[in-house]
């Protein structure tokens, strides 16, 4: 029985969650009470301190690499984003760690790049998109995580309903609301008992991270 709701992506320090630390934005040390993910956000591609950050990602004791990826809506040069994305995927492949993706209007290109690597797990965080994209990702064996903003998009809600339960995660990201409120909303949307939803996502977490 899951004792709490798994929050697969948060920037708030707390237990029962995967805490995301962006090496170009966060100065805090690694968390000790909860699993951590380290990564360089695409917004920071081209930063002069990237090489030192990549060295940390290659060696620090973390449970995932992220959030990393591509963002077509930010002003950072796309080629710099792709180079940094691939560098971090190489590290994840070598370390056999899952990756947590930030993907904004770059789903097809992200899928194309991911095909070049053998990774133990891929999570599209804060997913906003279509059921067709969900189908592509599921066929590749990937996971999708939904947050409060995801539920504001009717198209994304339909995508959520199309996602097999064994590929689902939920997250608070930087939202102030507690994760259990998100679980209640999603259980209502899926017509699924909340406790069953908690159990399913907890099992997904155990399977992905080999705990």
Cis geometry, peptide bond prior to residue 67 (ω within 30 degrees of 0): yes
**158 part of a folded domain:** yes
Tell me the CATH number at 132.
3.20.20.140
Residue 141 confidence (pLDDT): 97
Residue 20 confidence (pLDDT): 59
| Segment 124-163, tens digit of pLDDT | 999 999 999 999 999 999 999 999 999 999 999 999 999 9
H or E segment to which residue 17 belongs: strand 17-22
What is the domain count for the chain? 1
pTM: 0.91
Residue 46 confidence (pLDDT): 82
Residues recorded for the chain: 211
**85 part of a folded domain:** yes
**1 part of a folded domain:** no
- Judged on CB neighbours under 10 Å (0-12, 13-18, 19+), 109 is middle
Name residues of the chain where pLDDT drops below 70: 1-3, 13-34, 211
């Amino acid at each position: 029985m899951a004792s709490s709701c798994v929050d697969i992506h948060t920037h708030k320090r707390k237990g029962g969650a995967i805490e995301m630390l962006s090496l170009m934005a966060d100065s805090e040390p690694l968390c000790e009470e909860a699993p951590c993910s380290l990564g360089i956000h695409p917004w920071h591609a081209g930063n002069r301190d990237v090489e030192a950050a990549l060295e940390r990602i290659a060696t620090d004791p973390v449970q995932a690499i992220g959030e990393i990826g591509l963002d077509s809506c930010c002003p950072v040069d796309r080629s710099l984003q792709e180079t940094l994305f691939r560098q971090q995927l190489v590290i994840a492949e070598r370390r056999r760690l899952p990756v947590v993706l930030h993907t904004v209007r770059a789903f097809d290109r992200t899928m194309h790049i991911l095909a070049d690597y053998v990774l133990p797990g891929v999570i599209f965080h804060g997913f906003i998109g279509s059921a067709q994209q969900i189908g592509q990702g599921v066929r590749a064996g990937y996971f999708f995580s939904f947050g409060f903003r995801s539920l504001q998009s009717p198209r994304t809600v339909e995508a959520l309903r199309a996602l097999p339960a064994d590929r689902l995660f939920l997250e608070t990201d930087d939202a102030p609301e507690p994760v259990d409120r998100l679980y209640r909303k999603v259980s209502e949307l899926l017509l699924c008992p909340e406790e069953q939803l908690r159990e399913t996502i907890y099992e997904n977490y155990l399977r992905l991270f080999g705990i």
